[in-house]
Each structure stands twice: as C-alpha cells, then as structure tokens.
Amino acid sequence: MGIRMDRASITRVENGKRYLRDFEIRAIAKVLKVSAAWLFRETD
C-alpha cells in the first residue's frame, strides 16, 4: 500500500484545511508502525 502526498497536501492536513481519507490514515499508521487508533488518541 502506498500513497503519494506532496508537501502542500501535508501542510493542508496539518492546518485542518484537508481531511485524510481512510486509506491514507492506514498508510501513515503503517509507516509510523502504530495502529490507526493510536493516531487518534487525545492527550491532556
């Protein structure tokens, strides 16, 4: 599974101007070696 995201897309995600699709979340989690659920954990 691979996805391509350019720098501008990543910036839009970080700034809340672009949402990630489910397959993008799974790919990012795989690269980071964490679960998709872990990406959504909130910290105090």
Domain assignment present for 2: no
- Residue 44 domain-assigned? no
Range of the domain at 20: 7-39
Comparing CA positions, the residue from 32, 18, 33, 23 lying closest to residue 2 is 23
pLDDT of residue 2: 78
Domain presence at residue 16: yes
Whether the pLDDT of residue 35 is over 80: the answer is yes
Cβ-based neighbours of 32, under 8 Å, separated by 6 or more: 39
pLDDT band at 33 (very low <50, low <70, confident <90, very high): very high
Q: What pLDDT sits at residue 1?
A: 58
Measured CA to CA, the distance from residue 9 to residue 24 in angstroms comes to: 12
pLDDT at 23 over 80: yes
Domain membership flag for residue 29: yes
Reported as a pLDDT band with limits 50, 70 and 90, residue 42 is: confident
Specify whether the CB–CB gap between 7 and 31 falls below 8 A. Answer: no
Model confidence at 43, pLDDT cuts 50, 70, 90, reads: confident
**Residue at 17 is within a domain:** yes
